Amino acid sequence: MPQNGPDKNTIYPLAGYDRLCFLKNIITNPNILVGDYTYYDDFEDVHNFEKNVKYHFDFTGDKLIIGKFCMIASDVKFIMNGANHLTDALSTYPFAIFGSGWEKAMEGRQYPYKGDMVIGNDVWIGYNSTLMAGITVGDGAIIAANSTVTKDVEPYSVIGGNPAKLIRKRFDDDKIAKLLELKWWDWDIKKITANVNNLAGNDITSLG
């Protein structure tokens, strides 16, 4: 019987190795949504992933949405909206959360809310990078190790640094447009399997 890649519903797709998992299969938080075949690698324990989604409070309601076929390295951190403070006030101190006479400090005000964090498909996030609340990372992007991402990342761009900045585009604009139109990650798994050799190459005309 022909094989069509690893079972997307298995936790550990590499035999005898438990430090890499298909991420969707270990997530317990309903506000973290992960696509098929996205993997997370951790030097110690893959169950550290949700610990690295920081300030993700139920009452805030924001979601971390990660697409298919992403690669997430150890110690990557996602800073969600619960970390936000007032920045246009005279003080950034969160007086109201402590009560005891300070509970009215936020009357008529709201902490900044930047929306969901959305990671596209086929995105590689390097070791120890930090992604800030509300950003969108486009399909095919690469985030270099130790980066701090504070703004949206365009598809098929390579970024790095603190704050992260564009290093280069992976391909020319025409090839990027064609890849975004193809959306190979949404193909039937049999079609993906038939094209894995081509996907590992750089000739877009070979795909089909």
By annotation, the residues acting in catalysis are: 85
Give the span between the Cα atoms of 200 and 177, in whole angstroms. 18
Residue 47 contacts residue 29 (beta carbons within 8 Å): no
How far is 110 from 107, CA to CA, in rounded Å?
8
What tokens does 179 get? 């890849």
Tokens of 105: 């400090």
Beta bridge partners of 79: 54
